[in-house]
A and B are shown apart, each in its own frame.
Chain A
Amino acid sequence: MHGRYIFPRWSNRVAPFALVGVLGAATTAAAALGYYGTTKHLEVGYEPVQPVPFSHKLHAGDLGMDCRYCHSTVEKSAFAAIPPTQTCMNCHDKVLTESVKLLPVRESAATDKPIPWVRVHNLPDYAYFDHSAHLAAGVGCSTCHGRVDQMVRVRQEQPLSMGWCLECHRNPGPALRDPADITKMDWQPDPAALSNVSFTAKNGRELQPPQHCSGCHR
């Protein structure tokens, strides 16, 4: 039969190339998703602009105010409350009363309209995190929030993913500190704790950080 089509010689080289190409693309895609797809990449570093240029560095760092002065409920409740405008005014009706930056605060105080702060650390609604429980166990602020005392504008430091939570729940030792140091921003786990993992809070209570589902999901 004449004019029967015959593949050109080069066609033999197509297959190997195609194979390599496809495999390469697949691996890259997987790797990319594995890295960029996680909260580690997506959440960490989130640093929204706040309605009032409040500097944690100034207040918590330079002035050395205790975190609990503003976030007063952190030891009593699941929520570390954002302070009411009242709290700001306790000082700022004497200090910097004329400051333009503080205008929104004074307005809020005058009009009783809350200041719309932008949330930085946000967990899904089906994850029930409780600040008070963690503080009671001796987990300090900086462990999850980082060196807030050095942040002019607050930034998310940790992925806050389930896997990340579990890391610590499986081996809490290195994160536990003396309740007195809870708000101590420059606290470092002492190398001893890292090696011999202790599972008791400093108040002697035995810790069993939940790893089962209903520990966090209700």
Chain B
Amino acid sequence: MPEPKPTLVCYFDTPADLFHACEKLRDTGIKHFDAHTPFPVHGLEKAMGLKPTKLPWIVLACGTTGLFGATLMQWWMSGVDYPINISGKPAAAFQAFVPLSFEVTILLSAFGCFFGLWGLTKLPKFYDPVMKHPSWHRATDDKFFVSIEPAEPKFEEARKILESLGAHEMVEVEP
């Protein structure tokens, strides 16, 4: 196999600088880059040209499953499999099924949301090259990092752009 290429990592001081940098990279048609920030910088996805996430659809699917699954289960268990006269009410009394169906809907939606999140973000991923950057510890503190992935064809172009914008500690980290 070809020997693995390094990743380029550097950082800016303010969200604003990062924002401009990302816009630049995006406009130059650079795809394989990422921003690492201590908190979500608003509008950055536009600056990076990212598509919206599919998470809501996953949650919707789970929620619907929960709703119908729970209702169906209650109907079958108390109405079909073993109907019992309880307080003179009909065996399958849908009025009584509402609360439980609701709760299960929420529960499954929540699971969908939780696992969907980690699924889409491919976490947990304990090791990542960018963490090798000597000042990485500030990425979760007060600095705003940019990383150019080795897969990026316009790798060198990206480096120039970042240099021009005065990125700090431009380091190539081994994969």
Q: Which residues does A use to contact B, with CB under 8 Å? A: 1-2, 4, 6-9, 11-12, 14-15, 166, 211-212
Contacts and interface: CB of A to CB of B under 8 A. Distances in A.
Contacts of A1: 137
A11 B126 contact: yes
B127 A7 contact: yes
Given A6-B132, A212-B84, A11 B127 contact: yes
The 4 closest A-B pairs by CB, nearest first: A7-B126, A11-B126, A7-B127, A15-B124
Interface of B: 82, 84-85, 124-127, 131-132, 134, 136-137
Contacts of B131: 6
Contacts of B137: 1, 4
Contact of A8 (B84, B127, B136): B127
Given A4-B137, A7-B126, 12 more contacts: A6-B131, A6-B132, A9-B127, A11-B126, A12-B124, A12-B125, A12-B127, A15-B125, A15-B126, A166-B82, A212-B84, A212-B85
A15 B131 CA distance: 19
B91 to A, nearest CB: 12
B127 A6 contact: yes
- In this complex, the member of B127, B132, B134, B137 whose beta carbon has the largest number of chain A beta carbons within 10 angstroms is B127
A174 to B, nearest CB: 20
Nearest to B175: A9
A7 B84 CA distance: 58
Contacts of B126: 7, 11-12, 14-15
A6 B126 CA distance: 8
18 contacts: A1-B137, A6-B127, A7-B127, A8-B127, A9-B127, A11-B126, A11-B127, A12-B124, A12-B125, A12-B126, A12-B127, A14-B126, A15-B124, A15-B125, A15-B126, A166-B82, A211-B82, A212-B85
